[in-house]
Structures are given as C-alpha cells and as structure tokens.
Structure 1
Amino acid sequence: MKKASLKGVPTPEERAPRLADLRMRKMARSAHAYVRGSADRFYAWLDSQASGTLPDGPPVWICGDCHLGNLGPLADASGRVAVQIRDLDQSVIGNPVHDLLRLGLSLTTAARSADLPGVITSRMAEALIDGYEQAFDDARTDETKRAERPTVVRVAMKQALHRSWRKLDRQTIDGVAPRIPLGKRFWPLSEEESQAVRTLFESQSGLAVREALGRAVRGGGKIDVLDAAFWVKGCSSLGRRRYAVLLDIDGTCSPGGPPCLVDIKQAAAAAAPRHVGATMPRDNAKRVAEGARHVSPLLGDRMLAARLDGCAVVIRELMPQDLKIDADRLTEADAVKAAHFLALVVGQAHAGQMDAPTRRSWLYELQARRPGSPGAPSWLWRSMVELAVAHEAEYLEHCRRYALRRGAGKR
C-alpha cells in the first residue's frame, strides 16, 4: 500500500500545516461556510444566554451540529433511502432546541450568501418552527407523510436514487483499477498508518468491523485491503485522522464487482453541551455511533466504533446514495419550503426518541411560547438574528486573519 510521491501532494509529515491552511481557506469562502466550520462559536453564544431565555426541551440525542450540509439523503445497508441527519460528530444527549437554532442559523446565512431578501429569512423562521412542531403533533401524522419536498431536496433525492456503485467508483476511485488516486482529495499514508489500517480489517480483532459492513461478511469470509489513503474531507474535521479504504470482500472485485469503500473518521470531544445527569459512552467513537443509532437509524445501523492504533474512530461503509443538500441551490422560491421540510426532518429525529406524553408536553411548551398572530416566536427570531450578526462579524475577522496570514507567507 506504499504510495509513490507526487508533486504538490504532502507527505504525512507535511499534513498538519496544509490542513490548517485549507480549513481557514474553506471557512473564508462565505459566511455560510464559516458557520459550517465553527460549531464551537455557536455553543459559545449559547453559553452566554441567561437561563430560561430558550425553551428547555426533554433530553434526547441531538445532532449537535445541525447545519444544511449535515442533512441529506441516506441509504441503509439494503439501499432504502430517506432524508436524515448525515453527521453525528457532535451528537450528545442534550436540549433539542440547540439543533433547531443551529439549523436556523445555517438557513439564515445560506439565504444571505445567496443574496435573498430579508423578508425571506423572516418567513423561513416561521416555517422552521411550524415544520418542527409538526413532528410532535400526532394529529398531523398524515400531513407529515405528505410533506412537500423543496426543489433542493427533490434534486438530491433524484441523484441519490439513480446513483450506482459504478458512479460512486468513478467519482471517488480510479475507473477500472481498484486504487485511490492521490492528489487534491487523497494523500499518502505513512507505513505505520498503512499497517494499522490493514490490521484493523484483516486481523481477528476486526471481526466486529466485518459485521458492520453493508455487504456484511458472515462466518469466515475474507476481507482484503486493496488500498487506503488519507482523506481530505469536511471542514470542522480537517486536522483529525480520516481515511478512505477500499476493501475486497470474499473476492467480489475479481469478476468486476465494485470494491467496498469505507470511511474511517477520528472521533473527538463534542463542543455541544450534554444534559446534566445524562449517561453517555465516555469513548467519543462510541458516543458518535450511539447518537447516530438514535438520531439517524439508516446511518447508525451501519456505523461502528473502533480503535485504530489507539485512536477512537468511527467506521462506516459509504453508500452511493449518501449525498448532502446543496445549499448553493437555495432560491427565493424554495427557501421557505426547505426550512419547513428540514425542520420536520430534525423534529422527527427528536420525536422518535420520545413517548406520546413527552411529545405532547414538548409541543405544548413550544406552542405556548408562540405569539397569537402569525410569525416565529420571539425567542427563535431574536436568536437567529443575534447568531447571524455575531457570526458575520466573526467571519469577517476570520477572513482578515486569513488574508494577513497569506500575505505574510508571500513575503
């Protein structure tokens, strides 16, 4: 699995500064990109709020980083597709309002980045709370099933449903040869990393890993590691260990079948605050996997917590249907529908963890805080505005630091 060096592709020893620069550059692209990569700033703002300012919902597993890029079509091991939350790195047992606010902030900054008028943001806030409440109203079950998908969601679902293993291969790996091409997205591994990856899948200690694969290996089935590389992916996770691994399961690649593409991602401590008294796994990888099973079952059922060379990691097989919603496609005609639909998806993830009395109680509390006239409740609108203003200022300061850093590097 040793890689030949390529011009411009960093060695393992050169990764850290390159990743730090790439993360700063990604976050400088737009205010919405900054929001995606700064969950810690969101929770710093939450920590500054006086007690009782926001509704305190029943403790459930939450996403913890609920922005637009972390929602989209997901497939289970058999290929069944639904829109759910895609990333659970920050998942904790916490206040469900935190997910709603983070989604509201993401929608607000996406609308501003798309130059949509402010009145659209006001209407999105109203749609956001209405879609979220709908998930807890048992009387609106049929309405929930018929929820209208906005264009951005329909496009993503259409792409997901028509995406094949072969198309995933073309977009991620070399066409015929089962190899990961080094370059902008994939960097070489050290000898130690290569050995650790191979041991994880091919040793007897890797039996639990085999059971987690979508195309599970039963009995004494054989797994061969065909190739592996460091994966330059995401934004907030840049700087952590992340690997793409190609596996051959029981020789399925030899007659021309697709390899199994696995994502290995280091699990770090969550910035999202946990509910006082909540019992969660102390191991960060086990926390992420457990949160996924509660919040996004299609994803959680094909994830596994493991140790890679002493490091807590989450392993999952990538499915062709796994896609994120493209926030750049957000239009004035679609923004309000997107707010309602995505809030409903998040609400369903929370509601599925509550019994009927708890759902009714939480719905009553939310509705009690709403004004008698149409519009978003004051706590939601005020929070979305304050968060947008704070993040805009922080984004501009981030851009300034990045520009100064780039300027210093050229001298």
Structure 2
Amino acid sequence: MRNPPQPKLTSFDKRQELLTARRNAKMARSTHAYVRGNTAKFYDWLEQADIRSLPEGPAIWICGDCHTGNLGPVGNVQGRIDVQIRDLDQTVIGNPVHDLIRLGLSLATAARGSALPGVTTINMIEALFEGYALAFDNDRASDDVCRKPEVVRVVMREAVRRSWKHLARERLEDTRPTIPFGSRFWPVSKDERAEIDALFEKATVANLATSLRDRANTGHVTVLDAAYWVKGCSSLGRLRYAVLLDVDGGVVEGDDLCLIDIKEGVKAAAPRYPGAAMPRDNAERVVAGARALSPHLGERMLAATMQGKPVVLRELLPQDLKLEIEQIGEAEAMEVARYLAFVVGQAHARQMDKATRRSWLAELKRTKPKSIDAPLWLWSSIVELVGSHEVGYLEHCRRYALAAE
C-alpha cells in the first residue's frame, strides 16, 4: 500500500501556491540559501552595476547560475565520475566572468554563514581567482594540479560506492518499483500521466533509458510510476516529474530500473552576448550548454516537449551528488574555493583553443592590484553583491514571516 498523498492536491493552482510557500521557506533558512534561490537578484545587479570594469571574455557557454550547490560528482555512460557543473537551467553563451563572480558570491556567503573572519573571505577570493586562472594555463592545467579538498574527496568516495539501491532509498525511500507519495513526491493528474506514458513510447526518448550500463536496446520501455517532484529551490513551480521505468520487462533490481528526471526548460534570465547563436527551444539550449560545459551530464540528456512546453529529460545515476557547502571550516576554505573555481575554469577552457586560453589568461591577470592577489573587479563585485544579498535576505525573512502570520 502506498502512503496517502501529503498534501492532498486538488488543482494546479493549489500546487503552485504550496510550491511558492515552500520556496520562500527554503530561502529564509540562510543568506547562502537565499543566494541559491534568488538568481534574479544577481542578474539585476549585472544590469544595474557599472560592468564596464568587467573584462569581456570569449563568447562561450557559461553556467549562468554558478553557485556551489550546482557543482558536484557526475557520472557518465561509461561509469567514470568527475566533478562538473550539474545544473544548466540558465546556461547561455555569455561572459565567463559572470560564472566566476556568482561562484565567489556563493562561497563568500557560505563563509559568512560559517562565522569565518573577514580575512578568510579575502583569502578565499584570492584562491578562487588562482584556481580559475590555473585552468587556462596551457602548461599546468591538468586534473592533478589542483588538490581536491577533503569535503570533495568525501563526496567522491561516496559517489564511487553508490548503487541503484542507494539512489532508490535516497530519492524514493524504498527499493520497490513505485514512487511513494509524500512531502517530496505528489500525485500527477490523469492527463499528466497519459502524456508521460505517450512521451516514453517515442523511440528517441526510450533510447535515453537504454543508453546507459549496456542495457538491451529493445526500443521500448514501460512506465512503472510517475509523480510530480517537489525539488530544488529556484526551479520550484515549474514542471518537474520523476518517472520510474522498467527497461526490459524484468524489473530485476537496479540494472533494469531507470529513474528519469523531467524538468521544464524555461527562458534563461542570465545575460547572453548579443548575437550569440543558441537554440531557440529552451530545452535544446540547456542540452547544448550541458554538452559543452559538463560532458558527463550532457551526453545523457534529451530535449522533448510536454504540455506544449520544452522539457529536459535525464537519467539520474547513483553517482550524481550535490556538494553541500552550507558550512565551511577556516582550514579548508581556500582549498574549496581554489578547487571549485578550477572546475568551472576547466568547463570554460575546454571550449577554447590554446591561443584563446592564453589571451584570456592574460586579460584576467591584467588588472590585479598590489593590495590583493585577485583583480579589483572581482573583489569589488563580490563585496557589493554580498552586501545587497544580506539586505535582500533580511527583507525576504520579514516578508515571509508576515505572510506566515
């Protein structure tokens, strides 16, 4: 027997109301959570700030929402695991410095939430720049030149040992071939279920489920269960479904089961370079950006349409984990900043030839002052953003508390 639906939903409007309340509650937990959930505030700053002092980097795919929670171990179809960008909703062809500044903002608010002294934040920003620049050094930019901090090594070890049962217990709370309703999974309507069933009858969609782990490509999969997935923060309120599939009809443990994440692709709010040639379909844009920035993830994503809206499908792997850096210690702060910036730098650098990497590195280093071992535009941008987000967070808490009352 399934658990009874919690809460009982009677309409799409009611679902939206509950999701909005949940999103507000998540953002009220900390400044760091507010930064993660309020991407629009960062884009507003980019529009209003004097960005003439920011260097204009090469026109490449950028994450667009590059905070610590959007980085983590990601598995590929061959089973290799690497730390890459894991959320590409806002990906566009734009200025790579936007990713660096947003990552710095995320790390700085994590440091403040951990009650670290201001000098540690300064050192973190210096390490952030050092790690990012290292990815563009043609002579030094290899995977082993930037040491993984302990918090990353712990998550990587967990990713390596994880199996389908770990994924099922974490995501589904059980290893039985059903999705249990509760606080994370809500019932879908008959129309939603019918459209999900029809979606996986298409050969191109069914092939996504058979492409991993040498599954038999029968061209047909069976939808065992589906639910609306209450997941994320900034994405709450969009179409989001978890779909449990049987690939070959055997339903034998995890090898024959497949958990698909369906997520609506919405218009990116991240600033893009004028004239940049990108797919007009928002789901296709996300997939294209993922394949450029995070090959492990991009190769197992697919663009489709549901309810007349673009959606992105991807199979969830047990190895896909999020880096949770709500709290950070003083000893590891610099290592974390350096390494995560290096990961982002690698995602950018793999889209450039050697000459472009060399010229971009020279441009990055051109404006470093004597007082801090990082460009002044990077430091001043992060300081200004931390201040505005602290104010915004307190205002959000005030409004949320009044609404709750």
Task: Note whether the superposition's TM-score is higher than 0.5.
Answer: yes
* Cα deviation code 1:81-103 (max 9, x no counterpart): 00000000000000000000000
Structure 1 residue 370: deviation in Å? 1.2
Q: Provide the C-alpha distance between the structure 1 equivalents of 2:257 and 2:388, rounded to a whole number of angstroms.
A: 45
Q: Provide the C-alpha distance between the structure 1 equivalents of 2:127 and 2:175, rounded to a whole number of angstroms.
A: 47
- The reply on whether 1:209 has 2:208 as its aligned counterpart is no
Query: What's 2:375 paired with?
Result: 377
1:12-161 alignment, distance < 5 Å: 12-13=11-12, 14-142=14-142, 144-161=143-160
Query: What's 1:400 paired with?
Result: 398
Query: What's 1:267 paired with?
Result: 265
Structure 1 residue 51: deviation in Å? 4.4
Report the residue type matching 1:325 in the other structure.
L
Structure 1 residue 50: deviation in Å? 2.3
Q: Provide the C-alpha distance between the structure 2 equivalents of 1:258 and 1:168, rounded to a whole number of angstroms.
A: 14
Classify 1:259/1:219 alpha carbon distance in 2 versus 1 (closer, same or farther; 3 Å). Answer: closer
Q: Provide the C-alpha distance between the structure 2 equivalents of 1:305 and 1:256, rounded to a whole number of angstroms.
A: 25
Query: What's 2:7 paired with?
Result: 8
Q: Provide the C-alpha distance between the structure 2 equivalents of 1:256 and 1:25, rounded to a whole number of angstroms.
A: 34
Q: Provide the C-alpha distance between the structure 1 equivalents of 2:257 and 2:207, rounded to a whole number of angstroms.
A: 16
- TM-score, length-scaled by structure 2: 0.95
**Larger deviation: 248-257 or 229-238?**
248-257
Q: Provide the C-alpha distance between the structure 1 equivalents of 2:80 and 2:227, rounded to a whole number of angstroms.
A: 29
Q: Provide the C-alpha distance between the structure 2 equivalents of 1:259 and 1:123, rounded to a whole number of angstroms.
A: 46
Q: Provide the C-alpha distance between the structure 1 equivalents of 2:207 and 2:105, rounded to a whole number of angstroms.
A: 38
Q: Provide the C-alpha distance between the structure 1 equivalents of 2:287 and 2:16, rounded to a whole number of angstroms.
A: 27
Q: Provide the C-alpha distance between the structure 2 equivalents of 1:182 and 1:334, rounded to a whole number of angstroms.
A: 39
Classify 1:245/1:137 alpha carbon distance in 2 versus 1 (closer, same or farther; 3 Å). Answer: same
Q: Say which SS state the counterpart of residue 140 (structure 1) adopts.
A: coil
Conserved 8 A contact 1:126-1:375: yes
Classify 1:55/1:176 alpha carbon distance in 2 versus 1 (closer, same or farther; 3 Å). Answer: closer
Conserved 8 A contact 1:263-1:318: yes
Which of 314, 317, 323 aligns to 1:316? It is 314
* Cα deviation code 1:114-153 (max 9, x no counterpart): 11111110000100111000000112135x5232111211
Conserved 8 A contact 2:164-2:254: no
- TM-score, length-scaled by structure 1: 0.94
- The reply on whether 1:227 has 2:225 as its aligned counterpart is yes
Q: Provide the C-alpha distance between the structure 1 equivalents of 2:199 and 2:327, rounded to a whole number of angstroms.
A: 40
Structure 1 residue 380: deviation in Å? 0.8
* Cα deviation code 1:165-205 (max 9, x no counterpart): 1111122225342000100100000000000101000x2xx
Conserved 8 A contact 1:211-1:217: no
Query: What's 1:331 paired with?
Result: 329
How many residues are paired up?
Answer: 402
Classify 1:293/1:51 alpha carbon distance in 2 versus 1 (closer, same or farther; 3 Å). Answer: same
Structure 1 residue 216: deviation in Å? 6.9
Structure 1 residue 290: deviation in Å? 0.3
Conserved 8 A contact 2:3-2:180: no
Give the superposed CA RMSD: 1.8
Query: What's 1:184 paired with?
Result: 183
Structure 2, unpaired ranges of 5+: none
Structure 1 residue 309: deviation in Å? 2.5
Q: Provide the C-alpha distance between the structure 2 equivalents of 1:219 and 1:150, rounded to a whole number of angstroms.
A: 40
Structure 1, unpaired ranges of 5+: none
Structure 1 residue 251: deviation in Å? 1.7
Q: Provide the C-alpha distance between the structure 2 equivalents of 1:36 and 1:172, rounded to a whole number of angstroms.
A: 21
Query: What's 2:169 paired with?
Result: 170
